[in-house]
Amino acid sequence: MERQRTFGPYGPGMQIARDGVGVDRDRPGLGRVFHQALIASGIDLNSSDDWFSFQSYLDAIWEIRDRFGDATVFCLGCGIASEARWPEEINSVWAALESLNDVYHHHHRGDGDIGCYTAERLSESRYSLTCTTPHPPDQDLGIVRGLCNRFGDTAENWMIQPQREAQAETSTVMVDVLRLDRLQSQPAPQDWMNNDAALLRTVLKEVCDVVGDVTDELDQKTQQIQASKDRLQQLIDNLGERHAVFSRSNEEGTLQFLSHGFEAIFGVEASQALSRRLEDIVEWTDESRLRLGQDSHALLCGDADHCHGEYAFVHPGGQTRYAEISSSRAVSENESLALEGMIHDITRRKELELELKRTATHDSLTSLLTRREFERRYAREHSRALRYGHELSLILLDLDQFRRLNDRHGHHAGDDVLRAIAAVLLAETRDSDLSGRYGGEELITALPDTAIKDANSLAERIRCRIEETKISTGGQLLTITASLGVATFANYHCTAEQLISHADQALARSKSLGRNRTTIYNQG
């Protein structure tokens, strides 16, 4: 249906007063729906404006009429009359009808013809109103009904009956207004009047039912949305202390929402973390801080829609812990972009992974590198020394008469001796050195960037410490000595295997010279 733009010959500059609009935004039913239509048409009753465009007011009326039918105009008329502000001296239906023309014109201004109203008092309980207006006659009937609702005694029940209606550029309607409690003394109305009034009441009831259904549906949807929010909050709360949900602003990356698991993971209260960046409130390791900043930048700049990573941090208690963070770009409730995601405490999992990795690379008895892991790392150090011309030294150590010790005191005593000697080796070497268990009682150490003189001095210090060490096992104290061979990759080129062979030859020389000594490999 093509929408009519005006009701009659209204001028484009015509305005309507705030009280003339007559719709309370808190009124249930049609009043609330009409208020929404007014907002959409540019009339905001919450503003400080006293006058509004009458064309916008008409647009809102036609919007309601398009949605709910012609009889809705009757309801709007009821609202205009019932909710508009009237002078204090008007306190009865007759006074309102009599002053309707003046009040109606007072609420409008402009050059357009807005019609007129003429009231006549036929008896104490019966009035006549002639309405000559350019808008649909249903609104006039609605205005009269609104007056009866506003000024009639609560015990009074009024009947409003159109007597005559002419179709022209303006509509002229004569309306009978009767009090039903005194209707017995009045002449019986014509049948067509009763039928028309009944039809109008039926249509009005149907419109109100439709509006009520819409209101009920809106309330139901609102309850469903709230229930969904409550359920989501419950799910978040049930995640436990090892999980946290967060939301960050897209502009600055500051935290806007945190679930209660955040404090359990990071040891930082949510109140202290909100409005700050995640990168700034946790003591991340350098590598994790760098990756987290890069991931956040990619999301904030739109270079990525989703980021996932594992990050290490130092807990306020001093322990190194780990968090898995997944972040995605999302649209917030105010339709602005935000970053949302989940944080998972994976410290226990990472500790197990590190333990498994250490088990695979370290000897379970001595905690030294396994032979396979030593050879892998040693090959890398040899390649580096060869590439950059650096020195690389090896110390190969063998415990003297170890098999005899095992036979005499048992394998448990042998294990205690190996653990004690490995501890001496680790205590005397640097973190950058590589120490491993090369054979049963053979231990080996690679010394990057170490000259032959320094390597020999370290080997002698280790030999002396081993000789001085008293090892408690099985209720007795044992001692043992060691023979060592030292070789260096410096002024001549040799492969990684050849360097180990040189150290082994030097070790054999120590054994042949009586054990408990250190020998340097001599190429000549």
- Just list the catalytic residues: 441
Residue 447 phi, psi dihedral angles, 5° rounding: -120, 95
What tokens were used for 121?
A: 């008092």
For residue 453, how far is the Cα from the chain centroid?
Answer: 63
Contact 480, 421 (CB under 8 A): yes
In angstroms, the CA 504 to CA 176 distance is 125
Contact 392, 499 (CB under 8 A): yes
Contact 20, 84 (CB under 8 A): yes
Which helix (H) or strand (E) covers residue 311, if one does? strand 306-314
In angstroms, the CA 283 to CA 277 distance is 12
Instruction: Determine how many CB atoms are found less than 10 A away from the CB of residue 211.
Output: 22
Cβ within 8 Å of residue 16, ≥6 positions away: 51, 52, 53, 54, 57, 107, 108
H helix and E strand count, the chain: 17, 20
- Reduced to 3 states (helix: H, G, I; strand: E, B; else coil), residue 485 is strand
User: Which neighbouring-strand residues pair with 119?
Assistant: 129
In angstroms, the CA 498 to CA 69 distance is 100
Which helix (H) or strand (E) covers residue 444, if one does? strand 442-448
DSSP state, residue 153: -
3-state secondary structure 346-415: CHHHHHHHHHHHHHHHECCCCCCECHHHHHHHHHHHHHHHHHHCCCEEEEEEEECCHHHHHHHHCHHHHH
In angstroms, the CA 59 to CA 53 distance is 10
In angstroms, the CA 31 to CA 24 distance is 6
